[in-house]
């Protein structure tokens, strides 16, 4: 067991730095055995740890490969504004700690409507000049969708590759400002990490599900695993 990937002994002992990162002075003592080993300090892992504490089960460890807790939910700064990446969608309705938190905080959620996700009219303007760039955004959307469709037919090697690498091979390599912003929205905002760090296996699994339905437009993953959005689309 790599002690560098361990969180401190108990959830209550975690003291995060002001930037949300894990402190460097984590215990270097090797751990031979525990009653419960939790893989990942995302919302599910932290909720599991919280439940164990409630049940007075204290002999557990959480392993986390990244430098912070939270999983796909993270806070970052974009244009001098704090933005929460990852929690835009709530997966499921029952037995979900994020859904419970949203209800407790009075945050309205909105079931998505897959039938008109890509067809509703919209306006996009630059903050500097007010120029309407809706056509450019539409072009970015279409280019990204074409690459996602190509991903369906692209085999992922056993060694895996980042989502950015494989999507570039499929024709999506964002360079223009509009492409980069759209890439941030569809990746960082939903996954809590950039495509350079995300595995393609996750996207590939979803896309294979889409392929069974024959089209991207039906978004069947919403039928299999209901989602709610914290902001209307």
- Which DSSP string corresponds to 47-90? HHHHHHHHTT---EEEE-SSSBSBTT-EEEEETTEEEEESTTEE
| CA atoms of 51 and 91, how far apart (whole Å) | 19
Q: Are 106 and 213 spatial neighbours (Cβ–Cβ below 8 Å)? A: no
Nearest to 41 by CA among 70, 3, 2, 84: 70
CA distance 203 to 78: 25
pTM above 0.85, yes or no: no
What does the block give as tokens for 233? 């689309």
| Tokens at 65, concatenated | 């490969």
Distances (CA, A) of 28 to 6, 25, 45, 179: 9, 8, 21, 43
Helices (H) and strands (E) in the chain, counts: 8, 6
Helix axes 43-54, 97-104, angle to 10 degrees: 80
Proportion of the chain above pLDDT 90, given as a percent:
8
Q: pLDDT tens digits for 136-176? A: 988 998 999 899 888 877 776 656 678 888 889 889 999 99
Of 55-59, 92-96, 159-163, the poorest mean pLDDT is in: 92-96
Percent of the chain with pLDDT over 70: 61
Main-chain phi, psi angles of 21, to 5 degrees: -80, 165
Residue (of 177, 164, 185) closest to 83 by Cα position:
185
Q: Which helix (H) or strand (E) holds 38?
A: strand 36-39
**Better-scored residue on pLDDT, 110 or 204:** 110
Scanning the chain, the segments in alpha helix (DSSP H) are: 43-54, 97-104, 134-152, 163-169, 177-183, 189-191, 200-213, 221-224
Q: Name the residue with higher pLDDT: 232 or 76.
A: 76
Confidence of residue 73 (pLDDT cuts 50, 70, 90): confident
| Pairing state between β 227-229 and 89-91 | antiparallel
């Amino acid at each position: 067991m790599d002690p560098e990937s361990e969180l401190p002994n108990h959830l209550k002992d975690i003291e995060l730095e002001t930037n949300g990162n894990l402190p460097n002075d984590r215990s270097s003592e090797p751990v031979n055995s525990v009653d419960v080993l939790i893989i990942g300090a995302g919302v599910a892992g932290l909720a599991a740890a919280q439940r164990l504490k409630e049940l007075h089960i204290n002999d557990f460890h959480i392993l986390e490969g990244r430098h912070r807790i939270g999983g796909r939910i993270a806070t970052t700064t974009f244009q001098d504004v704090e933005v929460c990446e990852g929690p835009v969608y709530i997966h499921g309705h029952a037995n979900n700690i994020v859904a419970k938190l949203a209800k407790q905080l009075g945050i309205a959620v909105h079931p998505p409507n897959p039938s008109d996700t890509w067809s509703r009219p919209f306006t996009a303007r630059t903050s500097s000049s007010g120029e309407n760039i809706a056509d450019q955004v539409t072009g970015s959307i279409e280019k990204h969708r074409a690459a996602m469709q190509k991903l369906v037919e692209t085999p992922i090697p056993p060694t895996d590759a980042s989502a950015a690498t494989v999507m570039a091979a499929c024709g999506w390599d964002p360079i223009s400002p509009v492409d980069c912003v759209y890439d941030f929205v569809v990746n960082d905002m939903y996954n809590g990490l950039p495509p350079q760090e995300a595995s393609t296996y996750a996207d590939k699994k979803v896309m294979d599900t889409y392929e069974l339905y024959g089209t991207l437009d039906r978004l069947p993953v919403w039928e299999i695993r209901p989602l709610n959005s914290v902001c209307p689309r």
